[in-house]
């Protein structure tokens, strides 16, 4: 648990050194598309294919940038993994000592398997976001922003 706390602290320092305060992360997440717009660009994010038009490419770049920012900090996710591993070991030991085979055993096994698979998932998400950025960056530069932008879906 101490290692998890150290990793979480290092994650906070990592964000501070790169100028990523909590308020800037929330502002970036607030600017990204949600709902139907995000579903519309999902195939271009998943497979790294170029978008058919500049507007869709611009949306894809915005979502990929937000995903890259969200998954980039390695310390934060390492702390989460260590925290899950510590708790799952505690749950496994408790269930084996007290009950033999109970719900806590299943919870410990599922937390352990999640912790083992999570770094691979994080890397896959980073690779997808970077590929989508590289593929759609040029086409997104052709996108013309309208003068009067409609309100964001969260503000309606």
Within-domain flag for 42: yes
| Dist CA 4 CA 12 (whole Å) | 12
- Predicted model pTM: 0.70
Cα–Cα distance, 37 to 57 (Å, whole number) = 12
Which residues have CB under 8 Å from 117's CB, separation 6+? Answer: none
Domain-located, residue 38: yes
How confident is the model over 105-124, as pLDDT tens digits?
677 777 778 878 888 999 99
Residue at 150 is within a domain: no
- In-domain check, residue 155: no
Count of domains observed in the chain:
1
Is 46 contained in some domain? yes
pLDDT tens per residue, range 1-54: 788 888 888 888 888 888 776 656 666 666 667 778 788 888 888 888 888 888
């Amino acid at each position: 648990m101490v290692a998890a706390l150290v990793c979480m602290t290092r994650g906070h320092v990592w964000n501070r050194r790169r100028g990523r305060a909590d308020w800037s992360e929330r502002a970036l997440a607030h600017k990204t598309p949600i709902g139907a717009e995000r579903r519309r660009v999902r195939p271009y994010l998943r497979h790294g294919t170029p978008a058919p038009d500049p507007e869709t490419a611009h949306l894809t770049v915005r979502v990929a940038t937000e995903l890259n920012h969200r998954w980039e900090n390695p310390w934060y996710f390492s702390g989460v993994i260590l925290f899950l591993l510590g708790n799952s070991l505690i749950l496994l030991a408790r269930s084996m000592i007290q009950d033999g085979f109970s719900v806590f055993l299943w919870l410990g096994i599922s937390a352990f398997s999640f912790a083992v698979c999570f770094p691979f998932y994080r890397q896959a998400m980073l690779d997808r976001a970077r590929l989508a950025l590289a593929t759609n960056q040029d086409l997104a530069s052709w996108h013309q922003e309208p003068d009067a932008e409609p309100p964001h879906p969260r503000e309606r």
